[in-house]
Amino acid sequence: MAFNKTDVIGERDAYEPIVYDSGVCSGKVKAFIDIGLNNESFEATRDVVARSKSYTNQKESKQVVDAFNNLYPKLDLHCRFALAAMQLEGLTLKDLLLCGAKAEILALPIHDAVAVEFDNQFWARDLLEDA
């Protein structure tokens, strides 16, 4: 979304509007989108999702992709961008950790977030937003 200069729809959870629009539960929506970002087409995503224990039927897959396309008509969900995105996320967190070390601020990466002391929360937020 950032590369396409597209704002996220939703307050706290970017998946929630897709959940609402599709009528599919949030776990299934997130799984479909995560898999979709690693595939080149709806059909490839649908087929992987259909084999997943945690997922859905073809109807729900269609509901999720239709909701995504309705909310984000200019974005291609099936863009094979997930690995590149994870790499960029790792580089961003690495930069934050290095800046923290230089400023003597302890920062610990946790999955796709960073933990800092309470007094440094705005420092971390601002650095990540700038990145």
Do 36 and 77 form a contact (C-beta atoms < 8 A)? yes
pTM of the full structure: 0.65
In this predicted structure, what is the pLDDT of residue 8?
A: 74
CB-based contact 73:66 (threshold 8 Å): no
Please give the Cα distance from 67 to 35 (Å, whole number): 16
pLDDT tens profile 65-98: 999 999 988 888 888 777 777 788 888 899 999 9
Structure tokens at 88: 């960029």
Cα 15 to Cα 123: distance, rounded to the nearest angstrom = 27
Residue with token string 């800046």: 99
Tell me: the pLDDT tens digits for 109-130? 887 788 999 999 999 999 888 8
Closest CA to 14 of 50, 67, 74: 67
Backbone angles phi, psi at 36, to 5 degrees: -60, -40
